[in-house]
Amino acid sequence: MPPMAVDKQRLLPLFVLALVTPACLASGGEEPARFQIPRDGSVVELDEGNFEAAVAAVDFLFVDFHAPWCGHCKRLSPQLDEAAPVLAGLSTPIVVAKVNAEKYKKLRSKYGVDGFPTLMLFDHGVPTEYTGSRKAGQLVESLRKLVAPDVSVLTSDAAIKSFVQEAGVGFPLFIGFGVDESSIAEYGARYKKKAWFSTAKDFSEDLMAVYDFDKIPALVSLNPKYNEQSVFYGPFEGTFLEDFIRQSLLPITVPINAETVKMLKDDDRKVVLAVLQDDSDETSMRLIKVLRSAANANHDLVFGYVGVNQWEEFTEPFHDSKSSQLPKLVVWDKDEEYEVVEGLENLEEGDHGSQISRFLEAYRAGRTIKKTFGRRFPTLLGVNALYILLLLVAVLVVLMFFSGQGKEVRQPTRAHQE
């Protein structure tokens, strides 16, 4: 094998011509398969002849196993085209590739592809299925997070600032100032898909003022998407640390939307939900600030809000649009049940803080009425699941139609006689 050329571009792996592993060299003296990483960061088409070469050559390979007839695959394709050059240009480059799994059935079988599209990230040859967002921007954010270290070690103010800037706003960040890496390594691995983790070993007092802590060790949580920040001083053992991390993955008051509903599934707390007419008007904004104060004092509950104008379908099970007064408070189990405190669920004009306090006191005393939706809450199924359900129904109808066409004509005739 000829030696790999080394020039001034050696730090940019996208410009390298990679060869396959020794296993390919042992295949009867045949010419080894070659895989050339594209210089322009475009999406690569792979097949059974060069797939393993690509896996061996690229540290991080993101593969779309697709089928030509798949509508979801067709919609995904331009998103991958948009994301590919951005991913290729990262400090830890990711190559995007596509495989026609309908045609190349050996690859489909080897990697357990049973639906389309199936997305997998190959990390130094080890595949992991990707189930995150498929929108180009969020896809880049998610994959950039997945290829980062579980815990980054930061050794200067400049490194800390760079870490925060490069992390962006897609995920919460945790920075352990004076925290031993071993204390959070477990959580860095466990919550890798959900947050950035780091430890800071050297930093100035100026930075302590920026992140508003006055002693160490301190674990600072940042949620740039919601402009939130909090500090944990310990203890760094038992369940205390993980409780803080889990609770910090969500904003203090959660705006209920398709994204946050999915996030709530991973939290075992019940949700104190404020149902509003419009969550963006001035009155609602004042109420949300009061909810924030209640959330800071009741960490065993999640506090969320949703506007009828923003997501009417979600709010329908919680109130009768003709007779129910808004705003309204309920305690939702994130499934089919919720609880109301009779006489206290509707918030009147005035001191919302006192009304919420009385509601919580009655809830904790068990003075609630449990209600069910009477049907499984549709929003929790998610849009993708609904698409799948509709597709299955359509397939069943088509099969029944063609099955009927293959039978004798007397069957429909008999149906008319009944």
pLDDT (average), residues 124-132: 93
pLDDT at 404: 54
Low-confidence winner among 44-48, 261-265, 366-370 (lowest mean pLDDT): 261-265
Average pLDDT over residues 161-176: 93
pLDDT on residue 322: 64
Q: Is it the case that residue 5 has pLDDT exceeding 50?
A: no
Is the predicted pLDDT of residue 208 greater than 50, yes or no? Answer: yes
Q: Quick one: pLDDT band at residue 402, thresholds 50, 70, 90?
A: low
Higher pLDDT, 35 or 109: 109
Provide CB contacts within 8 A for 241, sequence distance 6+: 183, 184, 187, 219, 232, 234, 235
pLDDT band at 374 (very low <50, low <70, confident <90, very high): low
What is d(CA 28, CA 63) in angstroms, rounded to the nearest whole number? Answer: 29
Which strands make up the sheet holding 173-177, listed edge to edge?
152-154, 196-200, 173-177, 218-223, 228-232
- Is the pLDDT at 190 greater than 80, yes or no? yes
Question: Residues of the chain with pLDDT > 70: what percent?
Answer: 81
Burial class (CB in 10 A: 0-12, 13-18, 19+), 44: buried
Summarize pLDDT for 69-87 with one digit per residue, the tens.
Answer: 999 999 999 999 999 999 9
Q: 118 in helix, strand or coil?
A: strand
Average pLDDT rounded to a whole number, residues 340-360: 92
Q: How confident is the model at residue 118 (pLDDT cuts 50, 70, 90)?
A: very high
Is residue 8 over pLDDT 60? Answer: no
245 band by pLDDT with thresholds 50, 70 and 90: very high
Amino acid 21: pLDDT: 40
Average pLDDT of the segment spanning 236-248: 91
At 244, list the tokens.
């803080």
Q: What is the pLDDT of residue 335?
A: 87
Tokens in use for 362? 């009655």
Name the band, by pLDDT with cuts 50, 70 and 90, for residue 142: very high
What is the reported pLDDT for 38?
A: 79
**pLDDT at residue 355 above 80?**
yes
Query: Using an 8 Å Cβ cutoff, are 306 and 296 in contact?
Result: no
In terms of C-beta density within 10 A (0-12 exposed, 13-18 middle, 19 or more buried), how is residue 82 classed? middle
C-beta of residue 360 within 8 angstroms of C-beta of residue 293: no
* CB neighbour class for 23 (10 Å; exposed up to 12, middle 13-18, buried from 19): exposed
Contacts of 165 (CB under 8 A, 6+ apart): none
- What local confidence, expressed as pLDDT, does residue 303 receive? 97
139: helix, coil or strand?
A: helix
**Active site residue ranges:** 70, 73
From 45-54, 143-152, 372-381, the region with the lowest mean pLDDT: 372-381
Rounded CA-CA distance 4/2 in Å is 6
| Pairing status of strand 95-100 against strand 44-46 | parallel
Report the pLDDT averaged over residues 352-358.
95
